[in-house]
Amino acid sequence: MESFLIKGGVPLHGEVAISGSKNAALPIMAAALLTGEPCVIRRVPDLSDTRFMARILESLGAATKLERGTLTVHAQKIRGYADYELVRKMRGSICIMGPLLGRLKQARVSLPGGCVIGARPINLHLKGFQALGAKIKIEGGYVEAAAKQLGGTILFLGGRAGSTVLGTANLMMAAALAAGVTVIESAACEPEVVDLAAFLTAMGAKISGAGSPTITITGVKKLHGAEHEVIPDRIEAATFAIAAAATNGEVTLRGARADHLRALTDKLNEAGVAVERRGENLRARRRAALKAVDVTTLPYPGFPTDVQAQMMSLLALAPGISIITERIFESRFMHVSELARLGADIEIEGPSAIVKGGRPLSGAPVMASDLRASAALVIAGLAAKGETQVNRIYHLDRGYEGMDAKLRKLGARIRRVEEK
């Protein structure tokens, strides 16, 4: 198993290219199952998650080829059974169920795995498939869905923590080939949903309202091949912006979309960090001394839960008391105990973390528990004095393309080593 060895205390300076969005690429890759014609998807990040998804598509009968960020998928003949050994490794793989059901009218998919950050049930996905006319059975760790014909309907996807991104994606894909009109109420508004809708539209689907709480899909009989370029990863952009602020550096985020980052940039500005447009890029730097702020995670366009851990690392450096409230996942504070090993003063009270910031951080061995917690520990290690070893970085490789190489180009003293 590999780890990152970081010698902190060096401000980050320079330019970093933001990769394609993992959370957009995965459902778009799955959507290629909806047609027997070739699809070309550009700016696919080279991650363990995207490689796993390509293997899942191949296990279903599709041919895939990835060269320099361009993925070609040809799903001429596919089967509706997804193997447990592949699906269990990645929660996002559940998004193959919608296209399999839409095209084949049947699907048998293992219940998925992924990061341990609290319960992330798929009940809303299944509720939606049933509303479209599918019969659902859960047996032996698999979800089986079958329908003679899918039919348009009105779906409500609101859940305890708001709308579901993967659920919205799954049901958009299934409804694209359903008879009649489907209306998804309380749909997820995330940019990744909009990107999927753009790809489906390029394939011949009829979709309106993506990016709003109401999405309308008029089913068509057949979809065709298409080409598409994945949007830049807003979470990666946020992570590098926070890393620049934490190290008191200045980093240009090449290709980042300002319109996808407004909740983050608003909070960073309040905390003393400027994220400014520079042509087609963004530049992140401190504009003043760091200040304590309160943050609450919410569905898009609110502050993203996927940036909560990274923001906590920054606020551990800001004098004063910050309160971070997690409203999406109930167990997403597993990084707190590891940040404490670096000297952070953080207490958990129910869904909130009380961050008493301003104490200097010092290097120590830490253990990553999930993808975004790993990024938070890297940021803290970059800002800390001394040496930090972040173990179990396979989590990071799921969602950040060449993070260590990108950080080295910005001046960070970071290298990948085998865990002892």
Report, as residue numbers or ranges, the catalytic residues: 115
Name residue 6's amino acid. I
Instruction: Supply φ then ψ for residue 269, to 5 degrees.
Output: -60, -40
Q: Please, which residues have CB within 8 angstroms of residue 121's CB and are 6 or more apart in sequence? A: none
Amino acid found at 250: E
Establish whether the linkage from the previous residue to 301 is cis, with ω within 30° of 0. yes
Tally of CA atoms within 13 A in the half-sphere of 270 that contains its CB: 13
The answer to whether 143 and 136 are in contact (CB under 8 A) is yes
Written in H, E and C, the secondary structure of 334-403 is CCHHHHHHCCCEEEEECCEEEEEECCCCECCEEECCCHHHHHHHHHHHHHCECEEEEECCHHHHHHCCCH
Q: Are the CB atoms for 305 and 297 separated by under 8 Å?
A: yes
Q: Are 235 and 399 in contact (CB under 8 A)?
A: yes
Q: What is the distance between the alpha carbons of residues 101 and 105, in angstroms, rounded to a whole number?
A: 4
Would you say 388 and 366 are in contact if contact means Cβ atoms under 8 Å apart? yes
124: three-class secondary structure by DSSP: helix
In the sheet that holds 13-17, the strands lie side by side as 13-17, 250-254, 281-286, 273-278
Q: What is the DSSP letter of 232?
A: B
